[in-house]
Amino acid sequence: MINVTDKAIKQIHYLIENEDNDDAFIRVEVKAGGCSGLSYDLSFDTIIKDDDEVFKKESVTVVTNVRSLLYVMDMTLDFSDGINGKGFQFINPNATRTCGCGESFSV
């Protein structure tokens, strides 16, 4: 399961409205790279593939592929708009190490 906070839901709705595509959903994937070995890739998509896992909270759909699911299971997607920076944050209990920017991790 991928959890989504209320702040992230609000920001996702805002972004989808500006995308002008009501069929869009959030795709979370893990790719090799980054300073800690793995990095998150967050994007809009409109096509659900055969190997995707789909999670819904309220009216937000978050999709990930099976390979990425191993790394993001029980992760929480949050959004921060505080003084220290603005953007989505990945709170991942599976990560044993993260980089300073929070976009790269290792397990």
Q: Please give the chain's pLDDT, 107 residues, in tens.
A: 899 999 999 999 888 888 777 788 999 999 887 666 788 899 999 999 999 999 998 889 999 999 999 889 999 999 998 777 788 988 888 877 665 555 555 56
Which two tokens mark 3?
A: 């959890």
Give residue 59's pLDDT. 84
Task: Assign 22 to helix, strand or coil.
Answer: coil
**What are the two backbone dihedrals, phi and then psi, of residue 98, each rounded to the nearest 5 degrees?**
-130, 155
Domain that holds residue 18: 3-106
Distance from C-alpha of 48 to C-alpha of 92, rounded to nearest angstrom: 23
CA distance 72 to 76: 8
Look up the CATH number of the domain holding residue 57: 2.60.300.12
Domain count, the chain: 1
Which amino acid would we find at residue 94? N
Provide the b/e sequence for 32-50 (b: ≥16 CB within 10 Å).
eebebebbbeeeeeeeeee
Of 72, 67, 82, 16, give the one whose Cα is nearest residue 45: 16
